[in-house]
Amino acid sequence: MKTWVEEELKYLDLGDKRLNTRLGKMVSELSEHPHETVPQAIEKPSDVQATYEFWENRHVKAEKIIEAHKKATIEKIKEELFSKLEKLEPMAEIAIKLRRTPRRKPRIARLQVKWTSVEIQAPLNKPDYREMEPIKVNAIVAEEIQAPKGEKAVKWVLLTTLAVNNLADAQKVLKYYTYRWLIERFHYVLKTGCGIEKLMLDKGERLERALATYSIIASRILWLKYCAVETPDEPADIALEEEEWQVLYCVITKKKELPSEIPTIYECVRWIGRLGGFMCRKGDGEPGVQTLWKGWQRLSDYLKMWMIIKEVQEFIQI
């Protein structure tokens, strides 16, 4: 077995040492002639048969093979890349806003930043790796200094094809990265809240159009939440229609008279959360997107009923 194969599969555990050995031998032989068929690439007929039996074996899980290779690859990248990045001196200090996640509270973090260019070489197990050009990327390291007590200090190592020639470029890439959690929340609302995966559309074009449609709905739920975070003192009409905040106010306060001033968007978003099951207890934080979409459904029902009653009243008056 080739040394590089041993390195790639050193974390492999298929539950049987014989299976581990068999896979190593298969990878070693197949890598020499990857363009050939199995009988052509593997010399012994008994090994050809063993290869097919390995692939037929229901106890062999593809996930375990992939996970072992992934772990070895990440370790290799860290050894080569991180050793180079650790030698760099910090080039600047910046302040950046960290959004709330299940693992941390929102805060303004001070980060030491450094950056450089690196080249990613072609995998050595590729038959034509000598003909493959290395890929040039930019690496940014941002490490938090003086993190709040009880909070884990942030350390990001980012690889990007975007230009990083100065601090402004590095800040732009770091800012993009801070939106990662927001993007994940958007897809969570789209998949779980809107149930986009349950549509069972039989054509890709139909699914694509449905996805574009539901994206508008998902973005509004997410926009409501972050309006309350970013601009909590703004009036509710920056995100809600007049009828929406009025119905919401009457349902929550159980009052018939509307307030003299429009409630803030922060108040209204918490009210929507209450309709979705948010308890508003001390220490509960703010309502999450799942609570908000449940509350939004209830608000929509109240709004429909309000519109029906209004039409009936107008009809009676006529």
| C-alpha to C-alpha distance for 282 and 284, rounded to whole angstroms | 6
Q: Could you read off the pLDDT of 35-46 as tens digits, one per residue?
A: 788 999 898 999
Torsion of CA 85, 87, 88, 89, to 10 degrees: 140
For residue 198, what pLDDT is reported?
84
With a CB cutoff of 8 Å and minimum separation 6, the contacts of 226 are 182
85 neighbors 116 (Cβ within 8 angstroms): yes
| C-alpha to C-alpha distance for 294 and 275, rounded to whole angstroms | 7
The residue assigned the tokens 């890929």 is: 135
For residue 114, what pLDDT is reported?
95
| C-alpha to C-alpha distance for 53 and 56, rounded to whole angstroms | 5
For residue 277, what pLDDT is reported?
94
278 pLDDT above the threshold of 90: yes
Q: Could you read off the pLDDT of 48-94 as tens digits, one per residue?
A: 999 999 999 999 999 999 999 888 887 776 666 777 788 889 999 99
Q: Which domains does the chain have, with CATH numbers?
A: 3-69 (1.10.246.40), 88-178 (no CATH), 232-317 (1.10.740.10)
Q: pLDDT above 90 covers what percent of the chain?
A: 54
| C-alpha to C-alpha distance for 153 and 145, rounded to whole angstroms | 7
For residue 124, what pLDDT is reported?
67
- Residue among 290, 276, 304, 298 nearest 195 (CA): 290
Per DSSP, 139 falls in state E
Torsion-angle region of residue 285: left (phi > 0), alpha (psi -120 to 50) or beta? Answer: left
Q: Could you read off the pLDDT of 238-268 as tens digits, one per residue?
A: 999 999 999 999 999 999 899 999 999 999 9
| pTM above threshold 0.75 | no
The β-bridge partners of 112 are: 93, 143
294 pLDDT above the threshold of 80: yes
- Residue among 261, 221, 260, 259 nearest 240 (CA): 221
The β-bridge partners of 119 are: 136
Q: Which whole-number Å values give the CA distances from 238 to 214, 223, 227, 232, in the listed order?
A: 21, 11, 9, 11
Q: Which whole-number Å values give the CA distances from 66 to 9, 62, 72, 266, in the listed order?
A: 10, 6, 10, 46
